């Protein structure tokens, strides 16, 4: 039986990943600082730190934000503890300049986690997803709850958001099989959208006349800083969007190839998470 240590186990990728691994017959160790609130299925072993779960693990799912300052130490210790495989959660823009990596300023170390896995001497896979579908709920839900206008920069900026369950499903394949060893896997949803089109999708699913209203980048920057986000994040996010204006986001077929099915659509994700967006329970 394969033993897998999942860091970031209560996150949008880690939680479904733990369940998928368990259902596949793996022994799962889930890292969380609040085991009393974890709510994992029976059979998942909860540990309060990655270091506590390394011994005897065969594979480790590396979430750099969850690991924080322990990232390098955990990777270095993995080999001596008998780990044979590392699967890194990176991002599609991991090769870009840091000024174009907004999630970096929220704690992600996409470039470093990939490089550490590659240089570890262990089997490795790096998953490089595009924007998570849930990102748009966290950015826009307050505005959707307040009215029918979603304001933001660059209405024509493009993305191909991927549903986190699909990332988790590919991660499970990477952790339990040899199929993806030594690969940087670019993961996207099935379709590219502009910001305006994404709001249209949300409006269609919710049966609301939602529309995207483009505002100047500096106004958007002031808003981000005003709600407590780092100025560096605001600058990187706006710069990241700017380079995608009028440039349709690339869509890959990796989910189809690896899982033998199409990736979940953004509309399907919205339908499943309408309460998260509207703050209302589904009727």
Q: Tens digit of pLDDT for each residue in 20-53? A: 999 999 999 999 887 776 789 899 999 999 999 9
Q: Are strands 3-6 and 123-129 parallel, antiparallel or unpaired?
A: unpaired
Task: State pLDDT tens for residues 170-220.
Answer: 999 999 999 999 999 999 999 999 999 999 999 999 999 999 999 999 999
What's the confidence (pLDDT) of residue 142?
94
Per-residue pLDDT at 186: 98
Structure tokens at 75: 């990777």
Task: Judge whether residue 109 has pLDDT over 50.
Answer: yes
Residue 280: what pLDDT?
58
Percent of the chain with pLDDT over 90: 92
The DSSP secondary structure of 203-262, one letter per residue, reads HHHHT---EEEE--HHHHHHHHHHTT--HHHHHHHHHHHHTTBTSPPP---HHHHHHSSP
Confidence of residue 282 (pLDDT cuts 50, 70, 90): very low
pTM for the predicted model, two decimal places: 0.95
Superfamily of domain 3-130+163-187+250-263: NAD(P)-binding Rossmann-like Domain (3.40.50.720)
Place of tokens 């699913």: 205
* Contact (Cβ atoms closer than 8 angstroms) between residue 238 and residue 221: yes
């Amino acid at each position: 039986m394969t033993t897998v240590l999942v860091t970031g186990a209560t996150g949008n990728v880690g939680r479904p990943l733990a369940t998928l691994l368990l259902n596949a017959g793996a022994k799962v160790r889930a890292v969380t600082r609040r085991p009393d609130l974890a709510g994992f299925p029976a059979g998942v072993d909860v540990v309060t730190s990655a270091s506590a779960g390394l011994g005897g693990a065969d594979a480790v799912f590396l979430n750099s934000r969850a690991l924080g300052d322990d990232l390098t130490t955990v990777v270095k210790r993995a080999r001596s503890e008998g780990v044979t495989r590392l699967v890194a959660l990176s991002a599609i823009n991991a090769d870009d300049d840091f000024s174009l990596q907004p999630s970096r300023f929220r704690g992600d170390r996409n470039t470093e986690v990939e490089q550490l896995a590659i240089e570890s001497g262990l089997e490795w896979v790096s998953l490089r997803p595009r924007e998570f579908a849930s990102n748009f709920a966290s950015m826009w839900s307050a505005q959707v709850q307040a009215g029918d206008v979603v304001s933001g920069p660059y209405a024509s900026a493009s993305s191909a958001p991927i549903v986190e369950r699909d990332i988790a499903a590919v991660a499970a394949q990477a952790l339990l099989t040899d199929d993806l060893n030594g690969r940087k896997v670019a993961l996207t949803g099935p379709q590219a959208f502009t910001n305006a089109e994404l709001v249209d999708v949300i409006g269609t699913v919710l049966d609301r006349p939602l529309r995207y209203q483009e505002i100047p980048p500096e106004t958007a920057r002031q808003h981000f800083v005003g709600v407590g986000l780092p100025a560096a994040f605001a600058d990187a996010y706006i710069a990241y969007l700017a380079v995608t204006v009028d440039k349709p986001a690339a869509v890959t077929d990796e989910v189809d190839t690896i899982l033998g099915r199409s990736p979940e659509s953004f509309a399907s994700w919205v339908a499943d998470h309408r309460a998260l967006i509207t703050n209302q329970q589904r009727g």
